[in-house]
A and B are shown apart, each in its own frame.
Chain A
């Protein structure tokens, strides 16, 4: 029992590589070469606009078009811009609170739907699915009409409520996919062991669900940070968020300050996303 058997997947991979080597002909290599070239072009298409955006945040000229020299001036202006500061604060309040609430209740509903059989299941399914396929402009106007009708003042609260309403569905999709991939035998074995459903859930099912919950939370957080349409309609005076601020800035006059702000936001996303994906994978392995 001391010799280690290599994982099944690796064995098949080696076999496939071996076969691939055998059949490689000139045509195959040409095809490979063309495909690689195509993929490089595709990545260029994805990243070139972002690269230009970042580059021109260091442009001396006050227009982000003609390159006149290097400066950090726009970052200095950005960090002293109190409107940006308050927009950032609002964005974080909205994203964090709506993510936390949507993740908790979205996980609850996923566990309920996947675990139990009940009559209204397809109705609940439909209700959960609807916010995903309805265009955000339609959701935005129906919420603003509703808030008006019940005389709710527009502000941070109404933005948070609206964000939760669309985030629940996305959290539920991801958590339910994870839940469905877990085998019920695990929990059955656990309930034999702990004899208590509550303990079985918290000790066995919940830890296995964590990657799905984190994935759902990350998705909800990004959607919330990204949202312009619903936020714009449900926000009141003083509750401006970053996307609203950016669009407002592009309407008045375009300066490299927008590029500097964009660069900071890009940097945050580029650090946060790989980090959280890495965390999820670690959870997955343990």
Chain B
């Protein structure tokens, strides 16, 4: 498919095609990335000025119990979000893949519509629903599950943040799982049914391993943005430095400590890169086995 650029003209074409993107990504991505990494080793004076003094203090400082707690909380919030998204998204994807081709497109569009609408709006909807006087509490009162005097405080809790993250990212999980379930070879399932005769075992031994790539890519699509989330914890978690994204933002706002903020970002990026690579490696070895 791909050809070797042989003539001078072909080489020129290739250069013209690549150079705008290379220019853009080197200037507005690669160089800023390197600057952040350098900055993370520099010192900060109390008035927010950067001091050219290379050391590891910013990274050592992150080992403080306070920051480790925020890191672990972010990790668990992202993990729980991913697991719940998988548990509720996979059956939905399975259901969609079993619809007739005609209906499938309509159901897909219905899944995607909220995904295409602004996520600040969707988060705001939950802020409204979860408020003390919000519709969920009103519903609970109407159903006589709780009484008016002790309404639940949903907002500004970890549960509210997880709820908001699930609402926004579950669609990505459904779409990723759907892509791999709908690509399944039906004859394999029939053969498995003849062999095991038990639907549960067919599912565990055949369907699940074969759709693992979809599960893996869906989990990455949910976990990565949840771990680095900033808006959802800001709007539903009360705006304190609840998650690592808020902690970073704080260093560039009130705290005015760019080197420390850069160091936290570097840690976040390394975790993400490492996690993604690990996932892809696992995926490849899983494919090799099957």
Contacts and interface: CB of A to CB of B under 8 A. Distances in A.
A137 B230 contact: yes
Q: What DSSP secondary structure best describes chain A's contact surface?
A: helix
Contacts of B20: 104-105, 108-109
Given A131-B25, A138-B268, A277-B109, A226 B245 contact: no
Contacts of B4: 116-117
B14 interface: yes
Given A104-B20, A128-B25, A146-B31, 5 more contacts: A45-B167, A65-B133, A112-B17, A127-B22, A254-B127
Q: Which of A35, A124, A142, A145 has the most CB of B within 10 A?
A: A142
Nearest to B5: A116
Interface of A: 9, 13, 16-17, 35-36, 38-39, 42-43, 45-47, 49-50, 52-53, 56, 63-66, 104-106, 108-109, 111-118, 124, 127-128, 130-131, 133-139, 141-146, 149, 161-162, 164-165, 168, 172, 180, 184, 222, 225-226, 228-229, 233, 242-243, 246-247, 250, 254, 258-259, 262, 265-266, 269-270, 273-274, 277
B91 interface: yes
B28 A145 contact: no
B239 to A, nearest CB: 8
Which A-B residue pairs are the 4 nearest by beta carbons? Answer: A135-B228, A112-B17, A146-B32, A142-B32
A260 B273 CA distance: 40
Interface string B74-101: 0000000000000010011011101011
Contact of A111 (B17, B25, B30, B111): B17
Nearest to A111: B17
Contact of A63 (B14, B116, B133, B272): B133
B5 A118 contact: yes
A64 B276 CA distance: 41
Contacts of A225: 118
B157 interface: no
A250 B111 contact: no
A52 B116 contact: no
Interface of B: 1-5, 10, 13-14, 16-18, 20-22, 24-26, 28-33, 35-36, 39, 88, 91-92, 94-96, 98, 100-101, 107, 109-114, 116-122, 124-129, 131, 133-135, 138, 167, 171, 186, 224-225, 227-228, 230-231, 234-235, 245, 248-249, 252, 258, 261-262, 265, 268-269, 272-273, 276
Given A115-B2, A117-B4, A145 B21 contact: no
A50 B122 contact: yes
Q: Which of B33, B109, B127 has the most CB of A within 10 A?
A: B33
Contacts of A115: 2-3
B126 A273 contact: no
B117 A135 contact: no
A228 B120 contact: yes
A114 B1 CA distance: 8
A266 B121 contact: yes
A135 B129 contact: no
A131 B133 contact: no
Contacts of B227: 135
Given A50-B125, A277-B109, A138 B117 contact: no
A58 B11 CA distance: 61
A65 B117 contact: no
A264 to B, nearest CB: 10
Contacts of B125: 49-50, 52-53, 262
Q: Which of B18, B35, B36, B111 has the most CB of A within 10 A?
A: B18
A109 B114 contact: no
14 contacts: A38-B95, A42-B92, A109-B17, A111-B17, A112-B13, A116-B4, A116-B14, A117-B4, A118-B5, A137-B230, A141-B248, A165-B25, A228-B120, A258-B124
Contacts of A254: 127-128
Contacts of A229: 230-231, 245
A164 B135 CA distance: 39
B134 A109 contact: no
Q: Which of B1, B30, B127, B249 has the most CB of A within 10 A?
A: B1
B120 A243 contact: yes
